[in-house]
Amino acid sequence: MRIGLALALLAACAAPGSPEALTAEVAQSQESTLRVMAFNLRYKGGDRAPNDWASRLPVAVEQIELERPDLIGTQEGLHSQLVDLERELESYRWVGQGREGGSHGEYMAIFYRTERLELLEYDHYWLSDTPEVVGSKTWGNDCVRMTTWARFLDRVTGERFVHVNTHFDHQVEAARVKSAELMAERVKRFGRRRVILTGDFNCTGGESDAWRALVEDGPYEDAWETAAERGPDINTFHGWGPPREGERRIDWVLHRGELTTLSAKVCTYGRDGLWPSDHFPVLAVFSLAGAEEG
């Protein structure tokens, strides 16, 4: 095990205030790790208390503040929800566009912690045969599906990388597979840059055809499989119920390039019968290793 990886794992396991956690070397190693969350927010509207957005917003904020992600790939959030989150999360900004264009429809927004990351550029494309056409859908799916991506400079390490965020269709398997194939092809446009992909893929990681197109036959690795440490196998979609072990992992964090996955887990925070969403977020912690052209 590399010294940097060992230090990061030691820092993650050390209790606050312990001698191990206070060493300068371990503290520096902790600071240079990149924490990435995939978080389906559940769209605003139609849910009654305690599952309505007004009830869930404080719990969603607490979930994020607890895990301190540097990046969050969100799905389903409407414009007003994203504005609410940004207002409550003073350390974060976000980029995105509604899937119907402009501020209309659900977003595949990317939140980033500004003291850590500098936004260099961002853009969008749609999951269809005409990806540059706003709001396009051509694979039999009723819902418009899209992808948002952003390129960042990490202020701590000086490294550059790309974060891609998406939401696959929930009904049409062929649309999910074609979406995966399109995304596997379009990642080539980022050249040699490191890429982190978050999303609600609406199919099971490790066994679905869309996962195979991205991982087994594609350019990505699954952080759930590459993590040095991993939490319990919890279904990421829980439908307002408590955590339940199973193999229904439909929210993933994938990666390409020189990245070391230190840990991965399903985040199961809730309080007083409230959940942030009907999905549990997934958190992966990376180390940006080596140097590459950005």
Render pLDDT for 126-150 as a digit per residue (tens, 0 to 9): 999 999 999 999 999 999 999 999 9
In a domain, residue 294? The reply is no
Residues 97 and 161 in one domain: yes
* pLDDT for residue 290: 56
Residues 27 and 119 in one domain: no
Distance separating alpha carbons of residues 122 and 24, to the nearest angstrom: 35
Residues 8 and 78 in one domain: no
In a domain, residue 293? The reply is no
pTM of the model: 0.89
Residues 20 and 77 in one domain: no
Residues 67 and 10 in one domain: no
**In contact, 214 and 199? CB cutoff 8 Å:** no
Residues 160 and 180 in one domain: yes
Mean pLDDT for all residues in the chain: 90
Residues 21 and 93 in one domain: no
Tell me the residue range of the domain where 160 lies: 32-288
Which residues is 262 bridged to in the sheet? none
In a domain, residue 275? The reply is yes
The tens digit of pLDDT for each residue in 26-57 reads: 344 456 899 999 999 999 988 999 999 999 99
> Helical H runs in the chain?
3-13, 19-22, 24-31, 53-67, 79-88, 173-186, 209-214, 223-226
**What average pLDDT does this structure show over 155-183?**
97
Would the pLDDT of 78 be above 80? yes
Query: Into how many domains does the chain fold?
Result: 2
In a domain, residue 230? The reply is yes
The tens digit of pLDDT for each residue in 178-218 reads: 999 999 999 999 999 999 999 999 999 999 999 999 999 99
Assign residue 200 the CATH number of its domain. 3.60.10.10
